[in-house]
Each structure stands twice: as C-alpha cells, then as structure tokens.
Amino acid sequence: MSDINKVVLAYSGGLDTSVIVRWLQDTYQCEVVTFTADIGQGEEVEPARAKAKALGVQEIYIDDLREEYVRDFVYPMFRANAIYEGEYLLGTSIARPLIAKRLIEIANETGADAISHGATGKGNDQVRFELGAYSLKPGIKVIAPWREWDLTSRETLMAYCAERNIPVDFAGKKKKSPYSMDANLLHISYEGGNLEDPFWEAEEDMWRWSVSPEAAPDTPTYIEIGYQNGDPVTLNGEALSPATMLTTLNKLGGDNGIGRLDLVENRYVGMKSRGCYETPGGTIMLRAHRAIESITLDREAAHLKDELMPRYAKLIYNGYWFSPERRMLQAAIDESQGFVNGVVRLKLYKGNVVVVGRKSDNSLFDEAIATFEDDAGAYDQKDAEGFIKLNALRLRIAANKGRSQLS
C-alpha cells in the first residue's frame, strides 16, 4: 500500500474524520491534506485548522463554498423541480459533487494521488463522492476507510483514539444525538437509531432546524419571492445572493414549522433506508418555483420537464452530477427557463407553504381567453368540436371495429 504518497481528505474536524487522518498516515504512510468546507452545515469550520495541525497535517484547506454551492448546484437543480421518489428534496445528494470537485482541485494543486472521505460502505455518499472524483480525474485513487478498516464499532474506534492519542473531544457536540446527522445549507438529515423502525415516530427533540407546526406562530408570514430565469433573486423586493436567499428562507421556513420530512427511500446501493429531513428553504423554493412556472411556462415544456424530472432527480441522487446525461437534461431544463420571471406571493403558516399569488411580465395566463365572462371573440368555442372530433377519431375507428375500452 506504499503506492499512495499524498491523499486529500474531506475533513469535518469531527472525531471520525480525525481518526481517518491518523489511520491514513499509519496505514498508507502518506501525507494527508485536509479539506474542510463551509457549505452551510451550521458549524464553524475554522476550528478544523487547529485540529488538523494537531494531527500533523501540513496542507490545510478551509473554504467557504456557500455561494458556489447554492448558485451552481442548488439553483440549477431547483429549476428542474427535482424530487426523488415523490418526497425527498435531495439535500445531501446535491452537496456531494461540489465536495468531490473541490477534493480533485486540491489534489491537482497539491500533487496528491488520492482522495479519501468518511462515508460508509452502505450509503449513497461514497458513490457520489467517488463518481464525481473519477469523472473529474479518472486516474485518482480513492481510499474509503469505512470499507477497509476494522474500526467498525464505537469501542474499537475509541480504543484506536486512545492508542494514538487522538483527543476524544474532537467528537464535538453533534455526536450527542443518537442519530447520524448531516447538514448543509439545503437541509439537515437524520438516520439510524430508533428511525430504523419505520413505524416509530420521530420524537420532537430530534429536529434541529425547525420548530414543530404546533410551536410555530399563530399568525401567518407572507413573503414574495422574485424570479429571474428560473432562479430566486429577490425576497420581498430585496435582491439577495443565492446563499443569503437560502439562508433567509431556511430561517423563515424553520420559524414556521416548514420543511420536515419523514420517509423511507431506496438507496443506490440497493437497500431501503429511513431518513428524516428538514429542508425549510428548499420546501418554500420548490413550491414557489412551480408557481412562477405555472404562469410563465408553456404547457408542453412544463409537461416535458415533469416527465424528465424523476430521471434527473435519480441521476443526482445516484451521484451522476458530473455526467453527460445530467448535462443533457440540464440543457433541456435551462432552455425552458428564459421566461421564468416574476413574483410569487406565499403564505407560511404552521408547516404550510401556501401559494396565494403569482404575477409576471412574461405571464402566459391570458385573462381575455380564460375568462368565464364574454371573451369578445378571443376564443372560438366552435373550434373545440373539431378538436375533440379529430382527437377521438382513432378511438371511434377502434370502437367501430369492435374494440371495447371497458376492462
């Protein structure tokens, strides 16, 4: 295993990845470069520097990637109204390719020949990290300690720490939860523990980003989101950068009990898994984007998007962000967004995101035609007869030939 000289590790500063630093040094006799990113997980990243130094790391990268994350990953995905399996807003999935990209950039800068991460061998994240990495640098080596080592229980891990003098307080606050959690600007997730029984209701104190609908204010909050080319650009009339927009919507959503999800999903590696998620801002953005599309998007463009969406969401879930097929779908989606401009008015109330208004200079809603009142000839109702007759023709011919459509 001496063929690895330098490895870039996605380093959180927590206990697990700190153990990985040491394990990599020991096992591969290689130099470790740490990379810690602020993608909005809600924890300070700067403390990771001292921890890495204490572990003997000499090249330490700490980046604030929040704007890039929302602008180049979250926003393009929301143009697609992406939802995985009818429920999941892909909060973890969409953060992984950015990490993979940055790992590879750092590998290129530092001359590293490998990357490493702290994802387990049962999950989707290993796939997302590694597919992204291989797609961007095909010769890169990948070290996935959880697939290799024997530190598979808390006990063996702690013993390893004691033996190697890894300060156990690296574990940090996060680990006091009985759940495996992960967060970034789009969401926080919870897995494991009691959630492994799908009939068990998550207890209230698990949730961290939102109040419960019960605890949310008794009066609604109204907001207006302005869209440009399919992306949210203003909130209540004020221009906000992508990361600021999402941060603000997270606060608004969380305060109003919005964005909790409890579901069983199908992992790419083949098993079902229970997950709970809080996606307050994303939940608002999804409804708002559909609402602005509802008045600005052509019908068939909208339907085509809807038919492509599950496939697009699956690609992102499975880790294929950096793939030709994701780029093809993105090209189709982006082609549709040029007129997705305007304002959506929303009411936030105790877990509900209610669309109460939408307007746009590019609206295709034509009151003159849609009206129940006299439309002054804008639409000739007699056209409908021919429309129906010809659409029915194939069905009538079939019926004439004796075919029944009753089961």
Binding flag, residue 269, a second copy (CB under 8 A):
yes
Annotated catalytic, 396?
Answer: no
Binder of a second copy out of 68, 134, 171, 233 (CB under 8 A)? 134
Annotated ligand binding at 125? The verdict is yes
Catalytic one of 63, 177, 180, 375: 180
Catalytic one of 96, 102, 274, 287: 96
Minimum distance from CB of 221 to a second copy (Å)?
A: 13
Phi, psi of 250 (to 5 degrees): -60, -45
Strand partners, 250: none
The C-alpha atoms of residue 130 and residue 153 are separated, in whole angstroms, by: 24
Subset of residues 147 to 186 that bind a second copy, contact rule: CB under 8 A:
147, 152-153, 180
Binding flag, residue 365, a second copy (CB under 8 A):
yes
Minimum distance from CB of 146 to a second copy (Å)?
A: 7
Minimum distance from CB of 46 to a second copy (Å)?
A: 28
Binder of a second copy out of 196, 229, 238, 239 (CB under 8 A)? 196
Binder of a second copy out of 54, 171, 202, 233 (CB under 8 A)? 202
The C-alpha atoms of residue 186 and residue 175 are separated, in whole angstroms, by: 20
Candidates 77, 103, 71; CA nearest to 90 is 77
Q: Which is nearer to a second copy, 40 or 351 (CB)?
A: 351
Minimum distance from CB of 27 to a second copy (Å)?
A: 16
**Which region, judged by CB under 8 A, interacts with a second copy, from 10-18, 19-27, 47-55, 133-141?**
133-141
Binding flag, residue 351, a second copy (CB under 8 A):
yes
Minimum distance from CB of 42 to a second copy (Å)?
A: 22
**How many distinct helices (H) and strands (E) make up the chain?**
14, 14
Binding flag, residue 9, a second copy (CB under 8 A):
no
Distances (CA, A) of 12 to 41, 48, 191, 318, 385: 10, 7, 18, 23, 65
- Cβ atoms within 10 Å of 153's Cβ, excluding its own: 9
Binding flag, residue 333, a second copy (CB under 8 A):
yes
What are the residues whose beta carbons fall under 8 Å from the beta carbon of 143, sequence distance 6 or more? 4, 7, 24, 28, 114, 115, 116
* Interface pattern 68-97 for a second copy (x via CB under 8 A): -------------x---xxx----------
- Check if the beta carbon of residue 179 is closer than 8 Å to that of residue 277: no
Binder of a second copy out of 25, 110, 120, 228 (CB under 8 A)? 120
Distances (CA, A) of 147 to 56, 141, 144, 178, 204: 24, 14, 6, 22, 33
Distances (CA, A) of 236 to 224, 345, 401: 5, 9, 61
Annotated catalytic, 96?
Answer: yes
The DSSP output letter for 398 is: H
Q: Which is nearer to a second copy, 45 or 80 (CB)?
A: 80
Annotated catalytic, 125?
Answer: yes
The C-alpha atoms of residue 294 and residue 358 are separated, in whole angstroms, by: 9
Minimum distance from CB of 38 to a second copy (Å)?
A: 22
Binding flag, residue 194, a second copy (CB under 8 A):
no
Report the binding-site residues: 10-18, 37, 88, 93, 118, 120, 124-125, 128, 180, 189, 265, 277
